Copies of this chain bind each other. A is one copy, B any other.
């Protein structure tokens, strides 16, 4: 059982693309964190949580739903929401119709925070990602990302909406 088939090594083009992609997944999160920490004193993950609430009906979402949106586990989310609650941006309450469920709601202060923070963050995303790409590449990036996510997490909600790849 220990005998391996000759592995299908990456060719030089693939190898280079792979190393570049690894560089991106190492550095892009750091770059996003740096901008948000600098300009707003929050991490990218915290931004995602606030953004996820801001676009939800009644600015409210259940924890597990938010965990799905932020691609994180409940444990991490719970701790981060605790911090956001201490800062006065989020409020937690128990769902009256099911006591197991925790609802997270964006406060007015939280709304103000994300509203102030979003424009600068969008600028950073443009500067780091979309401005350096052609329109065709931006479109390709979406398709490529969706295909990779399909392989990582086949039953994810990333393929649910939006038809063409």
Contact = CB atoms under 8 A, between A and B. Distances in A.
A140 interface: yes
A122 B152 contact: no
B141 A144 contact: yes
| Chain A interface bracket (under 10, 10 to 19, 20 to 34, 35 or more) | 35 or more
Interface string A30-74: 010000000000000000100000000000000000000011100
A126 B8 contact: yes
Contact of A152 (B9, B28, B146, B156): B28
A27 interface: yes
A21 B141 CA distance: 8
A145 B23 contact: yes
B158 A20 contact: yes
A145 B13 CA distance: 13
Contacts of A145: 17, 20-21, 23-24
A26 interface: yes
A130 B62 CA distance: 35
A148 B71 contact: no
Interface of A: 4, 7-10, 13-14, 16-18, 20-29, 31, 48, 70-72, 118-119, 122-123, 125-133, 137-153, 156, 158, 162
